[in-house]
Amino acid sequence: MKPTFSRRSTLKTMLGGTAALSATLSLTEAFAASDAALGTTLKGKINHSVCRWCYSKVSLEDLCREGKAMGLQSIELLGPDEWPTLAKYGLTCALPNGAGMGIAKGFNDPTLHDALVESYENLFPKLVAAGYNTVICFSGNRNGMDDEVGLQNAAKGLKRLMASAEKHKVTMIMELLNSKVNHPDYMCDTSNWGVELCKQVGSERFKLLYDIYHMQIMEGDVIATIKKNHSYYGHYHTGGVPGRGEIDDSQELYYPAIMKAIADTGFKGFVAQEFVPKRPDVLASLRQGVQICDIA
């Protein structure tokens, strides 16, 4: 019969062995130490990532080290200068930063197509060299443009990149964002618009980022939408609604059921935590988020 060890008893032993250690370690540091000693083993149905920008108060080195200990496989929305730090800790970047002009300026504006195409074509070889196969992109804001016109414009611009994306085996992933609270006037703000864009682009190298937080605000019906449109989704983000805080029972979404729906579609990509922690111990909030999404 194998002896059993609880996380609590192991942590108690570790901290109890050295009074100075127990006096100086924060709870997050203590759990990270116990994670390293025990080896965090997640259930494996979800590939876990986190968006770097939500943890700006934590150095990238610390986020890599402690994220790795809690079971993260990726830290994302990072550029080429930051990728070597991920490699140092055996982490990937599940969704690197794009080569565009930010969220408000994107593929719905044909005057930007030449610059966007050039910048993404320059980025593709760097992604391949780093071992990455995705990159984020955006529709841009409406600025008075009709959605149908924007759809045609975006499809035209993205089609110019598909041959290169297919050659490099890089998937461009456009994020669905809410235009009610966080990104007023953003065009790719519903699943219907994004899915139609995917159909018009007509390549497996173009997908959508289904941001659960944003789409709960815009359209709700999260699980049914995932089941219906999962073939068009190449990535997922989390976030508590309302307020984009922790994804626990302080908000309205039940993430274990959402994660099960994602896993049941056969999705093999990444789910990234993109909530902004409201509590002082931000890494404890991140660990909680990973555990909530770690379904059996």
Whether the predicted pLDDT of 37 surpasses 80: no
For the chain, the maximum distance between any two Cα atoms, rounded to a whole number of angstroms, is 70
pLDDT (mean) for 168-174:
98
User: Shortest CA distance to 291 belongs to which of 113, 40, 109?
Assistant: 40
Model-level pTM? 0.87
Nearest Cα to 211, choosing from 51, 8, 40, 61?
Answer: 51
Q: What are phi and psi of 239, to 5 degrees?
A: 165, 140
pLDDT for 41 equals 84
Domain boundary assignment for the chain = 42-293
pLDDT for position 100:
81
Domain 42-293 -> CATH class: alpha beta
pLDDT in tens, 245-269: 999 999 999 999 999 999 999 999 9
Model pLDDT for residues 107-148, shown as the tens digit of each residue: 999 999 999 999 999 999 999 999 999 999 999 999 999 999
pLDDT at residue 30 is higher than 60: no
pLDDT of 40 reads 64
Please give the residue that has the higher pLDDT: either 101 or 188.
188
Calpha distance 32→63 (Å, rounded): 11
Evaluate if residue 72 carries a pLDDT over 90.
yes
Q: What is the DSSP string of 42-97?
A: --SSSEEEEEGGGGTTS-HHHHHHHHHHHT--EEES--TTTHHHHHHTT-B-SS--
Residue 31's pLDDT is what? 43
| 83, pLDDT greater than 70 | yes
The neighbouring-strand residues paired with 95 are: none
Please say if the pLDDT value at position 189 is more than 50. Answer: yes
- pLDDT given at position 11: 38
Calculate the alpha carbon distances from 139 to 53, 74, 109, 162, 257 in Å: 20, 25, 8, 16, 29
- Number of C-beta neighbours around residue 228 at 10 A: 12
d(CA 195, CA 139): 13
Q: How far apart are CA 196 and CA 293, in angstroms?
A: 29
E strands present in the chain: 47-51, 74-76, 134-137, 171-175, 206-211, 233-237, 270-273
Please, are residues 175 and 209 in contact by the beta-carbon 8 Å criterion?
A: yes
| pLDDT at 5 (0 to 100) | 33
The pLDDT confidence band at residue 88, using thresholds 50, 70 and 90, is very high
Taking a C-beta distance cutoff of 8 angstroms, is the pair 255, 226 a contact?
A: no
| pLDDT tens sequence across 39-51 | 468 999 999 999 9
> Is-contact 164 172, C-beta < 8 A?
no
Take residue 129 and report the two structure tokens written for it.
């060299």
Cβ of 184: how many Cβ atoms within 10 Å? 12
- Decide: 240 and 275 in contact? Cβ < 8 Å: yes
Half-sphere exposure of 106 (CA within 13 A, CB side): 28
In order, the DSSP letters of 166-179 are: HHHT-EEEEEP--T
